[in-house]
Chain A
Amino acid sequence: AQSVTQPDIHITVSEGASLELRCNYSYGATPYLFWYVQSPGQGLQLLLKYFSGDTLVQGIKGFEAEFKRSQSSFNLRKPSVHWSDAAEYFCAVGAWSNSGYALNFGKGTSLLVTP
C-alpha cells in the first residue's frame, strides 16, 4: 500500500535561513507527488506537484522540490525562509488502488520561523 512519511514533526529555522523538509514515499509505480501548505485556520494550498519529467520542480512562494526515485524522496526546499512561511506542510502521494484514486498525506511538518 502507498504511504508517505514526513520524518520531522517540528522544524525551527531562523528567518533568512535555508529550509529543507523531508518526505519519503512508498508506492510501487511512478508516483504523483504533491506538497501542500496549511496556515492556521486555513485550508490546504498546493505549493507544487510532480508527475513526470524534470525531477526538480518549482512551486509558488519560492519553494522547490526534487524527486529522487532511488531514495523514494520528494524533499521541499526554500533558499531563504520568511516569517510568513510559518505553517504546517504536508507531502502527499496520489495513487490508484482498488477503491479508486486518492491523495495519501503524510502527518505533516510544523515549521516555526524565528527572528
Chain B
Amino acid sequence: DSGVTQTPKHLITATGQRVTLRCSPRSGDLSVYWYQQSLDQGLQFLIQYYNGEERAKGNILERFSAQQFPDLHSELNLSSLELGDSALYFCASSGGLAGLYNEQFFGPGTRLTVL
C-alpha cells in the first residue's frame, strides 16, 4: 500500500460525458501527479500540482483539467469524453516540489471505460 488513494476504482460512462477522478496523496506529500496509461500510448504524464499550484504540464488534452485543493487532494476532470479516453489513470504523490530527489508513490489507478 503506497498510501495514495484513488476513487473510484472503475468508471464506465458514455461518449460526450464528463467525469471526475479523485486522488488523495500520502500524508504530508505536497506534490500530486496525474498519468494516463493506455495500450497504444503507454504511460504518459499529464500534469503536476504542488501545494495547490500547477507546476508542470505534459500531454494533457484541453478537454481535461485538474486542480489541487487546500487539503491537498486532487481531482482530474475529463469532459466531452471520447472512446480513446478509455485508459487507466494514475495519481502519484511526492514530498518535494519537483520530485527530483523524491520517489513518486503511485495510487492503484482508476480504470475509465468510455462506451
Q: Output the residue of B56, B99, B105, B108 with the most chain A CB within 10 A.
A: B56
Give B1-40 as 1s and 0s: 1 = Cβ < 8 Å from A's Cβ atoms: 0101000000000000000000000000000010000000
Cβ-defined contact, A104 with B108, below 8 A = no
**Residue A43 interfacial (CB < 8 Å):** yes
In the assembled complex, A42 has its CB within 8 A of some CB on chain B: yes
Within the assembled complex, what's the spacing in Å between the Cα atoms of A46 and B2?
10
A2 CA / B44 CA spacing, docked (Å): 13
A43 touches B109 (CB 8 A): yes
**9-residue interface stretch from A18-26, A73-81, A93-101:** A93-101
Number of B residues near A (Cβ < 8 Å) is 25
Residues of B contacting A44 in the complex (Cβ-Cβ under 8 angstroms): 43, 90, 92, 106
Report whether B56 and A101 are in contact in the complex, using a CB–CB cutoff of 8 Å: yes
Question: Does B58 count as interface, using CB distance less than 8 angstroms?
Answer: yes
Contact assessment for B108 and A102 in the assembled complex, using a CB-CB cutoff below 8 Å:
no
CA distance A44 to B103 in the complex (A): 11
Bound state CA distance, A105 and B104, in angstroms? 13
Q: A104 — nearest CB in chain B belongs to which residue? A: B45
Q: Which residues of A contact B55 (CB under 8 A)?
A: 100-101
Query: Distance in Å from the Cβ of B54 to the closest Cβ of chain A?
Result: 9
Q: Is the CB–CB distance between A90 and B43 below 8 Å?
A: yes
Most buried by B among A36, A41, A102: A102
* A107 contacts across to B, CB distance below 8 A: 42
B residues apposed to A, CB below 8 Å: 2, 4, 33, 42-45, 48, 55-58, 90, 92, 98-101, 103-109
A-side interface residues toward B, CB under 8 Å? 32, 36, 41-46, 49, 51, 90, 94, 99-108
